[in-house]
Chain A
Amino acid sequence: QKEVEQNSGPLSVPEGAIASLNCTYSDRGSQSFFWYRQYSGKSPELIMFIYSNGDKEDGRFTAQLNKASQYVSLLIRDSQPSDSATYLCAVKGDKIIFGKGTRLHILP
């Protein structure tokens, strides 16, 4: 059974600090990795995707991928209250598998 694991949280981070969200996956054949943000009652929206080892930065967001350790993370710098949401990690090999998500709460 291919799995994607995330800490369910909630992860509480002070406003202005760095939020670090982590995800591990079991399928070594996975090729691409996505981070989605989901506000309560809404549908997921894509924040970042990454498919090469290393870091990928987009504004306040940085995705990090380590295929050897089967680990992908999302860093959110200068956290804002509007970043409070559930973050879903998705891993794509022969099919896409979603983690259960981490609830992030930014403390004003």
Chain B
Amino acid sequence: DGGITQSPKYLFRKEGQNVTLSCEQNLNHDAMYWYRQDPGQGLRLIYYSQIVNDFQKGDIAEGYSVSREKKESFPLTVTSAQKNPTAFYLCASTVVGASYNEQFFGPGTRLTVL
């Protein structure tokens, strides 16, 4: 089955720790995205990548880092510099090209800071 997987489903972080959220897709999509969703809020873009070894900051990149070493993988690291990281994190991917291509979402990771 083609799709996007995210792990872990739930993650707990202590103050001052860096944590890495995994995102893998087997859809052969070029573009991948990380969003953050807070209760009652829409999706805010953290980082995106349209090609391997290249990525761009989104609207709220501070305190986060990413890498894109493989087409299939786009991990997100939440660093200790992110002061309020508790949120629902969503990874998405899409084909680059036609404007009407939808974004497919993974199941999400819920991060809680203890």
> Which of A's residues lie within 8 Å of B, judged by CB?
4, 8, 31-32, 34, 41-46, 49, 51, 88, 90, 92, 95-96, 98-101
Contacts and interface: CB of A to CB of B under 8 A. Distances in A.
A100 B106 contact: no
A26 B41 CA distance: 19
A49 B107 CA distance: 21
Contacts of B99: 31-32, 51, 92
Contacts of A101: 42
Interface residues of B, number: 17
Nearest to B44: A98
A87 B41 CA distance: 12
Given A34-B102, A51-B100, A92-B99, A42 B107 contact: yes
Interface in B74-114: 90, 99-100, 102-108, 110
B43 interface: yes
A49 B105 contact: no
Contacts of A49: 100, 102
Nearest to B90: A43
Nearest to B105: A43
B105 A45 contact: yes
Closest 6 pairs (CB-CB, A-B): A100-B42, A43-B105, A32-B100, A31-B99, A98-B43, A98-B42
Contacts of B105: 43-45
18 contacts: A4-B42, A31-B99, A41-B110, A42-B107, A42-B108, A43-B105, A43-B106, A43-B107, A43-B108, A44-B90, A45-B105, A46-B102, A49-B102, A88-B43, A92-B99, A98-B42, A99-B42, A100-B40
